[in-house]
Structure 1
Amino acid sequence: MNTDDLPRWLLVAALTAPILGALPAAAQSEQADEVRTYDTVVVTAQRREESLQDVPVAVTAFSADQLEKNSIETVQDLALRTPGLTVGAADPINNNFALRGIGTANGISQSAGGDQSVVVFVDGVYAGRGGTVDLDVLDLERVEVLRGPQGTLFGKNAIGGLIQYVSRKPSDEESFFAKATAGNYNKVDLSTRANLPLSDKLFLAIGIANKQRDGYELNQTTGNRVNDQNITTARAALRFVPNDELDIVLRSDFSWQDQLGNPRTNNCDETFNGGVHCVGVNPDPRVVNAYIDGYIIRNIQSYSAEVNWESGFGTVTSLTALRDVDYKFRTPFFSNPVNPPTQIESTDFGKEEATQFSQELRLAFDAFDTRLQGQLGVYYLDEQIDRRQGQIQDFPVPSVTGIAIYPQSISASSFAVFGQFDYALTDKLTATAGARMTWEEKKGDFQAERLQGPGIPPPLGSAAGYDVTGSEEWEAFTPRVALNWDASETMMFYASAARGYKSGGFQGLAGTAAGASTPYDPEFAWNYEIGAKTEWLDRRLTLNAAIFKTDYEDLQISQLIPLCCVVVTNAAKAEITGVEIEFIGRPSDNFQVDGSYSYLDAEFTEYLVPGSDYTGNQLPRAPENKFNIGAQFEFPIGTWQALARADYSWADDAYFEASNVPQQIWAAHENIDARLTLTPPDSPWEFAVWGKNLTDELTPTYVTYFGPYRQTLVPYAPPKTYGVSLSYTY
């Protein structure tokens, strides 16, 4: 071991030694003849409630209690503890997910005509644009991460997998919760929520949260701390249960966010061969030199109505939803006013208004004494997206400013019919067959206009702009077949084959009129998988594993053209193989060890672009090895009860782009989190001390490399943070 690594390993040892040291005593305190039954998380990975251990799908699930004990606040925290999942971010709002090597390039996910390959559902509603708020401000019952294509029951763009947030439904139990958190960077979080039975048939749940902190970086030019946080979220849900057959839930969510931007750090060390913009720049990666701070403003409103009716045919579910997102941003990304005579100031700016309406209707039924369980459904989605994006470039010699804008207006619709059937061939063997047929259309207006100066030239080499339209229709058939064998009460094995689909789209920021009006095609992936869900040692050890192979076709690849644009083409094929293991060990009732490991071999089997052959390269954001391990121990301190937990995660080298150039490597990185919770006897109060990224690892969330200028621009994940939380539960 290199002595440079010694402090971090000492910290890991210091955090885990008290927990591990308590293991023998804790284990001896158990009575030999006592057997405790441990409940598993209930999930809806197949659109019906099932134990996690009974679902023939690779799922990582976190209950509300696990989210709290693991200090999981964001999707980045979720990724640290989920095999095969990585999350990059070009800014604090637009996350780029990759699951089992299947992800979306930054240029695609941020254009009006592009979609994510790993999608988010909130209470069954597809969250297509604008991202979602932090997990800890939602009144969640659980979070589920489904790995691999989910093309049958979920369908919409879930070619890599999906993340599903499930909130608590209002109930007849009166409850109240309040929490206050204070931490470094002047962090102050306040949240409260309540469940109020209005009658024996009508229940209301409400909540509001506010999160504020100073920025993680200092803009040396303006003197302000940037990449700060200022967000308020409110939720309300009304549930009406008039009888045993009908259950109606109306939900509404609101989020307001207004904060300074995150100007890019110029990475100017020798590793990246610092370019002309690096002269005079502060070498501290947490200090930026930008002529302005920029800003991020986002408003999200969502409304949904879920109706469940127990009819004579089965359970009929109707889910109607409306989601509206307004988003504005201004980001200086190629900037250094320290040495203005030798460089260009570049600023990205824009706004987006996205409205989404969806309607889903499902029938869940069983027949033949429940040997057959099935679901049939139809789904409709309509999206209206207006995005106005532009760039400003200030040229020092001669002193001129170029401004170009790219208005984009997209109208997209998707209609699907689907069904899945599980038939018990024997008491232990069940066969599954399902399919989804999807019809989609996208059409849009695309413009490029140079407002002044040299700016970004649309089209290439010309001062003229363009104003064009484009439209395309696609259809996709995405089947799934599976066989699962209940070998015993504690062992289930499955094998499956499933096809996934991701919509085609338009480039948005195109350098030519032809490029703007020409769509790129959908992606498709076939996934073949065998897996096991097992429990051992009187269910004190849960051990799940999956082995898979994915054939991935027509990958949508984005290529950055310096001083122009992002070009998207269906340029590649890939093959992905991998292994995933998850475990939870409970040597005693008050001690737990849990973790996961994933191995990923994800490479392009065909990827040719003019002048380059990237065949054999590693897929972006696909580390070969990734693991996490956590330990928690409950113990008394006098009359108080304490819970100590530590989590360690590590991910192998990866790349942010398909070209695999060393300047865009995502170097191997680690993370250590810890939490100590104290609860007085018979008290509704709880006190917690927590720390995250305790080794202060400097981890990029995205890397943009401008080869001709030897320039690398990097936003970073949060530094070391720590604080205290006080909560009250009634």
Structure 2
Amino acid sequence: MTTRYASGVSAGALAAALLVSGSAYAQERAAEVEELIVTAQRVEENLQEVPVAVTAFSAAALERSNIETLGDIALRTPGFSMGQVDPIQQNFAIRGIGSAQGISQNAGGDPSVVVFVDGVYAGRGGTPDLDALDLERVEVLRGPQGTLFGKNTVGGLVQFVTRKPSADTSLRIQGQLGNYDRRAVNVRGNVALADNVFLAAGASIKTRDGYEFNETTGNDVNDEDLRTGHLALRLTPSDALDVILSFDVTDQDQKGNPRDNICDTTLRGGVHCVGVNPDPRVMNAWTDGKMRRLVKTYRGEVNWETPLGVVTSLTGLRDVKLNYVTPFFSNPVNPPNQIESTETGHEKNQQFSQEVRLAFGLMDERLRGQVGFYYLNEDNGRTHWLLQQFPAPAQTGLAVYPQTVDATSTALFGQASFDILPTLTATVGARMTWEEKEGHFIGRKVSGPGLPPPLSADYDVSAQEKWDAFTPRFALDWQPTEDVLLYASAARGFKSGGFQGIAGNGASQATPYDPEFAWSYEAGAKTQWLDNRVRLNLSVFRTDYEDLQVSQLVPLCCVVVGNAATAKIEGAELEFDIRPFRGLQIDGSYAWLDAKFESFATGATGNFTGNRLPRSPKDKVNLGVQYSTDLSGWAALARVDYSNQSKMYFEASNIPTQKQQGYINWDARASLTSPDDRWEVAVWGKNLSDELVATYVTAFAPYRQVLVPYTPPKTYGVTLTWKMQ
């Protein structure tokens, strides 16, 4: 209930009346912030009534901002940053908590921020392309989510929610042309097969030329050739039973992305830089490399209304095949002689998950919550080849590292909310998780006069380890008015332990690293003002982060992961959505983050206590301005998105060569929609200021060289959409 003055006029209405007057005020009241439904607590709730920090993108918002990738999502989300070793292997960080660099290349490792698709954990092998799914929305949950979602959500998570098949018949065909010879086609449709059987399907094809050029081979690299498909069948045999069976596939086949080699010409008279092109989009590698990924996901969801509550069963089966050749280090000294380090790998992953939960409401919904059981099994086989070609014979050779890891995770969880007063609610939840990983690891010299780093001697070892984790959550929320929700919470999350990806010897390979844990304390406010024309959401938090899995590059050896640190993270995030009058929308966010190591175990690379955590920019600003109007019956819409992110580091060392300078990004889109809403034509541009932004940095101190892949340059194009309604 909104607060009222003695005259009976609500506070929101009185403030709005100060902005506009008379009949103009009555006309403008229709401009309201849209209501967003999210499943941040595994049940559908209004975003403004959920005591969790959530950024949500509706299907319309995804389209109007031309969001196509998780990188686009991260750019617009406070506290969320993303890096990637290559277009397939990505590293996410939320509020400073992210995966150790290179852990995605580890058969026994896991990320700190994960993706769920319709509630099913999407593990290894990269995330599905957004066009592979008919998305209803995307949700980003910030902070540990260990109670309801479980393992590897120590930093937060991204949740894809697809549109359920329905009785509505629809068809949408979209084509796109852009620079770099970009071509894309996307088709989606929905049809009722019977009164209680509905089918939804979609497919897309995306191709474009590469963003970079390899002078050695004469070919463009980092191109795109992506094909996706989605199929969902929904059955509603009764009002109490709802069953959805779905399948999606992603087939990606493209050249690799050799790193830019940034050379220090002052070292050894610049001899080691001979032949290196200074253009960051021009590479010098003996091979273009390749990336081939095939992901198949089968999901089954059953919702059954019973006298006890709604029983939900989620079954997921994921099959991933990944092949890649990456020219990691390329340095033409006195061409055509090449100094090369090339990684070649093959990975096959099979994942099965099963979750059953009961959502209940008792005492006239005064007490509500859910309890459940979760099981996950992953079989991961990975073979990694490392070819090193150097002038020094002792450093030249080929080594192979086969790995197989079988991992299981089992959990019991529950959460309950109780209305102490009609406006005051207390929430308590907990999850108990048991995990086990069992692996077989081999390191073997294949050829060469010497053993190439990091292999100091052949090994063949097996290892096994078990862990358990207790991750509770406590929250209290108070709603003094219809438009204001205040909350405070404490939550614990964890990330699984694991084994090294490539070790220098058998003892190191067989030694596991332990899980990492984080306690997060948060207070927030979710508010709407001026008759729902202004939305302001604020959160402040502190996180105590323990047993961090930190990666360190050991010179002439390898990347070693260990529980090397503790950290304290503090921050604040503000999100806003303002509708001053019909047609105009101003939205965005600001995030401030102070994420530093409180302690750091001194190792081969030094003590980094007091340094900033990787991928944790101190300041991040997003601003979107959108205007829509009617032009002789045609709907016109224009939108500009601005992002400004301060500097961040990619490793704990915080050395200048491991830093991404602060940068600004501009995106824009303008569209016209026909009076019958069937046709839309849109022109768009991304990274319009053509910023050069690193996604991953590897520094080789002995040679004063930095190897960097980059985000896409300036791109632009036109999109034509036809809808049958």
Partner of 2:550: 557
Distance (whole Å) between structure 2 residues aligned to residue 287 and residue 645 of structure 1: 33
Tell whether the 8 Å contact from 2:206 to 2:226 is kept in structure 1 after alignment: yes
Match of 1:87 among 62, 72, 82: 82
Residue 513 of structure 2 corresponds to residue 515 of structure 1: no
Tell whether the 8 Å contact from 1:459 to 1:465 is kept in structure 2 after alignment: no
Tell whether the 8 Å contact from 1:529 to 1:546 is kept in structure 2 after alignment: yes
Q: Measured at CA, do residues 483 and 69 of structure 1 come closer, stay the same or move farther in structure 2, by a change above 3 Å?
A: same
1:339 to partner: Cα distance: 2.6
Residue 482 of structure 2 corresponds to residue 485 of structure 1: no
Distance (whole Å) between structure 2 residues aligned to residue 396 and residue 352 of structure 1: 31
SS for the counterpart of 2:165 is coil
Deviations 1:491-532 (A, max 9, x none): 000000000010000002011111100100000000000000
Q: Measured at CA, do residues 310 and 456 of structure 1 come closer, stay the same or move farther in structure 2, by a change above 3 Å?
A: farther
Deviations 1:70-95 (A, max 9, x none): 11111111011100000001101111
Q: Measured at CA, do residues 239 and 347 of structure 1 come closer, stay the same or move farther in structure 2, by a change above 3 Å?
A: same
Residue 155 of structure 2 corresponds to residue 163 of structure 1: no
Distance (whole Å) between structure 1 residues aligned to residue 591 and residue 454 of structure 2: 45
Partner of 1:608: 601
Match of 1:405 among 387, 400, 403: 400
Partner of 2:248: 253
Supply the AA of the counterpart residue of 2:624. G
Match of 1:539 among 528, 532, 551: 532
Partner of 2:13: none
SS for the counterpart of 1:290 is coil
Distance (whole Å) between structure 2 residues aligned to residue 651 and residue 122 of structure 1: 28
1:132 to partner: Cα distance: 1.5
Residue 137 of structure 2 corresponds to residue 142 of structure 1: yes
- TM alignment of 1:590-669, pairs within 5 A: 590-610=583-603, 612-669=606-663
Tell whether the 8 Å contact from 2:185 to 2:204 is kept in structure 1 after alignment: yes
Unpaired segments ≥5 residues, structure 1: 1-23
Tell whether the 8 Å contact from 2:587 to 2:625 is kept in structure 1 after alignment: yes
Deviations 1:152-180 (A, max 9, x none): 00012100000000000100101101100
Partner of 2:170: 175
Residue 521 of structure 2 corresponds to residue 528 of structure 1: yes
Distance (whole Å) between structure 2 residues aligned to residue 595 and residue 488 of structure 1: 24
SS for the counterpart of 1:77 is helix
Partner of 1:715: 709
Match of 2:200 among 194, 201, 205: 205
Deviations 1:329-354 (A, max 9, x none): 00112113463587621101111000
Residue 685 of structure 2 corresponds to residue 688 of structure 1: no
1:29 to partner: Cα distance: 5.7
- TM alignment of 1:273-312, pairs within 5 A: 277-312=272-307
- TM alignment of 1:123-522, pairs within 5 A: 123-268=118-263, 277-337=272-332, 339-340=334-335, 344-396=339-391, 401-454=396-449, 457=452, 461=456, 464-522=457-515
Deviations 1:620-666 (A, max 9, x none): 00000001100000023333221000000011111000011111001
Tell whether the 8 Å contact from 1:448 to 1:458 is kept in structure 2 after alignment: no
Q: Structure 2-normalised TM-score? A: 0.95
1:729 to partner: Cα distance: 1.4
1:36 to partner: Cα distance: 5.1
SS for the counterpart of 2:167 is coil
Supply the AA of the counterpart residue of 2:542. K
Supply the AA of the counterpart residue of 2:680. E
Tell whether the 8 Å contact from 1:305 to 1:321 is kept in structure 2 after alignment: yes
Tell whether the 8 Å contact from 2:132 to 2:230 is kept in structure 1 after alignment: no
Partner of 1:12: none
Tell whether the 8 Å contact from 2:132 to 2:250 is kept in structure 1 after alignment: no
Tell whether the 8 Å contact from 1:30 to 1:588 is kept in structure 2 after alignment: no
Partner of 2:3: none
Tell whether the 8 Å contact from 1:342 to 1:396 is kept in structure 2 after alignment: no
Supply the AA of the counterpart residue of 1:89. Q
Distance (whole Å) between structure 2 residues aligned to residue 502 and residue 108 of structure 1: 12
Supply the AA of the counterpart residue of 1:637. L
Partner of 2:718: 724
Distance (whole Å) between structure 2 residues aligned to residue 272 and residue 548 of structure 1: 45
Q: How many residues align?
A: 705
1:134 to partner: Cα distance: 2.6
Tell whether the 8 Å contact from 2:394 to 2:449 is kept in structure 1 after alignment: no
Tell whether the 8 Å contact from 2:394 to 2:450 is kept in structure 1 after alignment: no
Match of 2:696 among 693, 696, 702: 702
Deviations 1:243-296 (A, max 9, x none): 100000000011111100001110136799997542121111010011110000
Tell whether the 8 Å contact from 1:554 to 1:571 is kept in structure 2 after alignment: yes
Partner of 2:10: none
Supply the AA of the counterpart residue of 2:326. T
Distance (whole Å) between structure 1 residues aligned to residue 390 and residue 266 of structure 2: 27
The alignment yields a C-alpha RMSD, in angstroms, of: 2.0
Distance (whole Å) between structure 1 residues aligned to residue 450 and residue 238 of structure 2: 65
Partner of 2:16: none
Distance (whole Å) between structure 1 residues aligned to residue 570 and residue 266 of structure 2: 32
Distance (whole Å) between structure 2 residues aligned to residue 495 and residue 454 of structure 1: 62
Distance (whole Å) between structure 1 residues aligned to residue 317 and residue 190 of structure 2: 24
Distance (whole Å) between structure 1 residues aligned to residue 435 and residue 422 of structure 2: 40
Partner of 2:575: 582
Supply the AA of the counterpart residue of 2:670. L
Match of 1:101 among 86, 96, 104: 96
SS for the counterpart of 1:588 is coil
Distance (whole Å) between structure 1 residues aligned to residue 21 and residue 394 of structure 2: 72
Structure 1 stretch 597-606 or stretch 448-457: which is displaced more? Answer: 448-457
Distance (whole Å) between structure 1 residues aligned to residue 128 and residue 21 of structure 2: 39
Distance (whole Å) between structure 2 residues aligned to residue 619 and residue 89 of structure 1: 17
Tell whether the 8 Å contact from 2:275 to 2:335 is kept in structure 1 after alignment: no
Distance (whole Å) between structure 2 residues aligned to residue 386 and residue 446 of structure 1: 10
Tell whether the 8 Å contact from 1:179 to 1:728 is kept in structure 2 after alignment: yes
Distance (whole Å) between structure 2 residues aligned to residue 129 and residue 28 of structure 1: 57
Supply the AA of the counterpart residue of 1:115. D
SS for the counterpart of 2:230 is strand
Distance (whole Å) between structure 1 residues aligned to residue 520 and residue 448 of structure 2: 50
Q: Measured at CA, do residues 93 and 519 of structure 1 come closer, stay the same or move farther in structure 2, by a change above 3 Å?
A: same
Distance (whole Å) between structure 1 residues aligned to residue 572 and residue 262 of structure 2: 35
Unpaired segments ≥5 residues, structure 2: 1-18
Tell whether the 8 Å contact from 2:371 to 2:413 is kept in structure 1 after alignment: yes
Which stretches of structure 1, 4 residues or longer, exceed 3 Å deviation after superposition? 24-39, 269-277, 340-343, 396-401, 454-461
Deviations 1:118-156 (A, max 9, x none): 000011110110112332442100000000000000012
Tell whether the 8 Å contact from 2:222 to 2:256 is kept in structure 1 after alignment: yes
Deviations 1:572-620 (A, max 9, x none): 0000000000000000121100000000000000002236221100000
Q: Measured at CA, do residues 27 and 84 of structure 1 come closer, stay the same or move farther in structure 2, by a change above 3 Å?
A: farther
Supply the AA of the counterpart residue of 2:320. V
Q: Measured at CA, do residues 34 and 285 of structure 1 come closer, stay the same or move farther in structure 2, by a change above 3 Å?
A: closer
Tell whether the 8 Å contact from 1:276 to 1:342 is kept in structure 2 after alignment: no
Q: Structure 1-normalised TM-score? A: 0.94
Tell whether the 8 Å contact from 1:191 to 1:210 is kept in structure 2 after alignment: yes
Identical aligned pairs, as a percentage? Answer: 59
